[in-house]
Amino acid sequence: MTAEPKSLGAPTVDQCEAVYGSIPEPTVRTFHAKLLAAGYDISLSGAQRFIARHIKKPQPKPHQAPAAVGRPLTLEELSLIQKDLAELQPLDAAALKIMLEKELLVYNIMLMRFSQRKADQLAMAPRKSAAMVKSMFDATKGAMGSAIPVIMPDGRIIDVTPNEQNEVSSAIDLFLKKEGVASVGKH
C-alpha cells in the first residue's frame, strides 16, 4: 500500500513568493505546477490571482532619446543657440505662440516654393534634353570630323566628335526621328 503525499494546504503569500522567485522565467502554469509539486493545494486560477495581486510586473524603462548621430556642434553653432535662447526665454507664452505661428507659415511657404521649383525643373527636363540633343545634332552637321565642346546641364564640358559610325550620333538621329523630323528643320 502506498501512502499519498500529505497536502500542505493552501500556501501563504510568503510561500508563494518564495516559489515564484525560484522559477527563472515564471508563467502561471509553471508557477502552478511548482506549487503542486511542492505539495500545496492551489488551483490554476488561485495561482493566477496570486500573481495578479502580489507580483509586481517590471515597469518598462522610460523612453530614452537615441544617441546623437552626426558631427558635434561647432562653437559658432553653440553660440547661436545660446543667443536664441537668451532672446526667447524672456518672452511670454502668447508672444512665443505668435512667433511660432509666423515661423510655421514662413517655413511652409518656403517648402511649397521649393517643391514647386523642383517640379518645374522636372517638367522642363525633357525640353532641355531635347534642346540639347537638337543643338548637338545641328552642331555636328557642319563640322564632321572635328571635336565640338558641349556644355552639359550639370556644367561639365564634353568633347563630341561627330562620326557617322559613332553610337552617340546614331542615338541622336534615332532620338530626333522619334521626336519628329519637323523639329530638326525648325530653327
Do 45 and 98 lie in a common domain?
Answer: no
- Going by the DSSP 8-state scheme, the letter that residue 110 receives in this structure is H
Tell me, yes or no, whether 95 lies in a domain.
yes
Number of domains present in the structure of the chain? 2
Confidence (pLDDT) at 112: 80
Residue 20 lies in a domain: yes
**Strand, helix or coil at 40?**
strand
Tell me which residue range forms the domain holding 49.
13-54
Please tell me the pTM assigned to this model: 0.31
User: Is the residue at 73 inside a domain?
Assistant: no
Same domain, 105 and 163: yes
Residues 111 and 44 in one domain: no
- Closest Cα to residue 44, out of 58, 64, 28? 28
- Burial label for 148, CB within 10 Å (0-12, 13-18, 19+), is middle
163 is a domain residue: yes
- Of 150, 127, 124, the C-alpha closest to 137 is 150
Residues 180 and 106 in one domain: yes
Q: Same domain for 180 and 95? A: yes
Angstrom distance (rounded) from CA 7 to CA 16 = 15
- Do 181 and 100 have their domain in common? yes
- pLDDT recorded at residue 180: 63
pLDDT averaged per 10 residues, the chain (length 187): 65 87 89 90 89 76 67 87 90 89 83 76 64 67 59 70 57 70 45
The whole-number pLDDT of residue 30 equals 92
What are the backbone angles phi and psi of residue 158, rounded to the nearest 5°? -120, 150
Specify the DSSP element, H or E, that contains 175: helix 167-179
